[in-house]
Structure 1
């Protein structure tokens, strides 16, 4: 997953839950501008802790898996 894809995934989760950028930013004590830039893949200053806080707020998490030479179902579905 690229940085841009991660930001887009956070945005999709946020919109599915009908949470505004301002609500989420206020709850996480980050600026709305930072959240917006992250969702658009324009901010390189969002660290892993902030990303994990965003995902936790949205009820998701990052999971690691062993690298495989075979594509995942999601990669096949998305045509990657």
Structure 2
């Protein structure tokens, strides 16, 4: 994931949290103009402390994992929860039930 993709994920999380750029700036100590540049992919660099502060303000966390790591079911569920504006792990997991076996059509 590159900096522009992180900025887009941040923007989606900020909007899902119903926060303005200014509110996040006040919470994180990062200038609103830098937040705007981060979200639009025009910010050439952002320090780790500022990035973590921004992510914390909108409820995201940064996870380090080895290169080539394959997505897990937990990764997919977490992404789905963010997509549907629900906190991670609060969606109810359900299993599709198999239809009942019938004897119709058997000799």
With structure 2 as the length reference, what TM-score do the two structures score?
Answer: 0.61
TM superposition outliers: structure 1 runs of 4+ over 4 Å: none
* Separation (CA, whole Å) in 2 of partners of 1:15 and 1:45: 22
Q: Does structure 1 residue 48 correspond to structure 2 residue 41?
A: no
SS in 1 for 2:63: coil
- Whether contact under 8 Å (2:21, 2:36) holds in the other structure is yes
Q: Does structure 1 residue 65 correspond to structure 2 residue 65?
A: yes
User: How many residues end up aligned between the 2 structures?
Assistant: 73
* Separation (CA, whole Å) in 2 of partners of 1:47 and 1:64: 16
Q: Which structure is larger by alpha-carbon Rg, 1 or 2?
A: 2
* Structure with the larger RCO, 1 or 2 (CA within 8 Å, 6+ apart): 1
The unaligned stretches of length 5 or more in structure 2 are 76-107
Q: Does structure 1 residue 37 correspond to structure 2 residue 3?
A: no
The unaligned stretches of length 5 or more in structure 1 are 75-80
* Separation (CA, whole Å) in 2 of partners of 1:43 and 1:18: 23
* Separation (CA, whole Å) in 1 of partners of 2:29 and 2:50: 10
Q: CA RMSD in A?
A: 1.7
With structure 1 as the length reference, what TM-score do the two structures score?
Answer: 0.79
SS in 1 for 2:7: helix
